[in-house]
Amino acid sequence: MSPLDDTGRPVPVPDRVRRVVSLVPSLTESVAATAPGLLVGATDWCTHPADLDVARVKGTKNPDLERIAELEPDVVLGNTEENRPADIEAMRAAGLAVWMTEIRTVDEALASLRRMLTEACRVPAPEWLDEASRAWADLTPGPARSAVIPIWRKPWMVVGRDTFTGDVLSRLGVSNAYAGHPDRYPKIPLDELRAGIGPGGADLVVLPDEPYRFTEDDGPEAFPGVDVALVDGRYLTWYGPSLAAAPSVLARQLAAARPY
């Protein structure tokens, strides 16, 4: 019987997997850190590990479907948030086995990655995944704070409801001021963001360096007098080997929050 991916769909994965194409940077890093010889293709946005030497198949939202088919993968790895349904269905129609992950919490990430590696890639669960599980199980949350979490500007967009990023921060003691918004990544005018910061509202702005690259000189100036935490987006938004160090790295970066 074919194993089931995160969406409950059977995926015809062979008993031995030799060739994997990954369409998500986090999943690419997860396979590369576990069984690097399996990867034959990845997106242009797959930047970890830095020395990854595989065929590139364009982006997560515009994959080169012809090139992917030419690579003859045993399985293609995707994600319900990162990849478009039309592209996934086109690959399935072409006879490719596509394994879809669906991750919106840390617990889901740990379970999904274990299932993907052991059932879709047919490799033993790696030590880094056990380390990540221990790191999050042993985590002591920091001081309770409420944050606005922009991920883009021009227009300003923030983290909304039901996201992996929001769950990561909540475990560190930081609640998302827009967790109750009906959209997962709402566009909010800057004046409205500012109005929600202060007594009775958020007391922190968290600025990651991806997908928009916020820096000391680009982002904090929009929130004068407010504590701003500049954080590494890979530890905040990626699910993979970075999960093992994420609690300590993010806790340190959040503790360094200050007005700019």
Within 13 A of 60's CA, how many CA atoms are on the CB side? 16
Structure confidence by residue, pLDDT tens digits, 206-221: 999 999 999 999 999 9
Structure confidence by residue, pLDDT tens digits, 69-87: 999 999 999 999 999 999 9
Show the beta-strand stretches assigned E in 5-57: 20-22, 39-42, 55-56
Percent of the chain's residues with pLDDT above 90: 96
* pTM, 2 dp: 0.94
Token code pair at residue 63? 């994959």
Omega before 182 cis (within 30°)? no
- Which residues fall within 8 angstroms of residue 227, CB to CB, at 6 or more apart? 203, 204, 205, 257, 258, 259
Q: Report whether 76 contacts 99 (CB < 8 A).
A: yes
pLDDT of residue 116: 98
Structure confidence by residue, pLDDT tens digits, 4-34: 999 999 999 999 999 999 999 999 999 999 9
Give every strand in the sheet of 228-231, ordered side by side: 174-176, 145-148, 204-208, 228-231
Q: Residue 125 gets which letter from DSSP?
A: P
Structure confidence by residue, pLDDT tens digits, 38-48: 999 999 999 99
For 104, phi then psi, to 5°, come to -130, 0
Omega before 259 cis (within 30°)? no
Give the pLDDT band (50/70/90) at residue 66: very high
* Domains in the chain, CATH or no CATH each: 20-125 (3.40.50.1980), 142-255 (3.40.50.1980)
Q: Residue 120 gets which letter from DSSP?
A: I
Distance from the first to the final alpha carbon of the chain: 57
Helix (H, G, I), strand (E, B) or coil at 27: helix
Omega before 12 cis (within 30°)? no
Q: Is the pLDDT of residue 189 over 90?
A: yes
Structure confidence by residue, pLDDT tens digits, 50-63: 999 999 999 999 99
The b/e string for 126-136 (b: 16+ C-beta within 10 A; e otherwise) is: bebbeebbebb
Structure confidence by residue, pLDDT tens digits, 238-259: 999 999 999 999 999 999 999 9
Task: Indicate the length of the chain as a whole number.
Answer: 260
Structure confidence by residue, pLDDT tens digits, 142-177: 889 999 999 999 999 999 999 999 999 999 999 999
Cα separation of 19 and 252, whole Å? 39
Cα separation of 229 and 150, whole Å? 11
pLDDT of residue 1: 84
Identity of residue 258: R
Closest C-alpha to 21, from 62, 78, 66: 78
Token code pair at residue 77? 């790895």
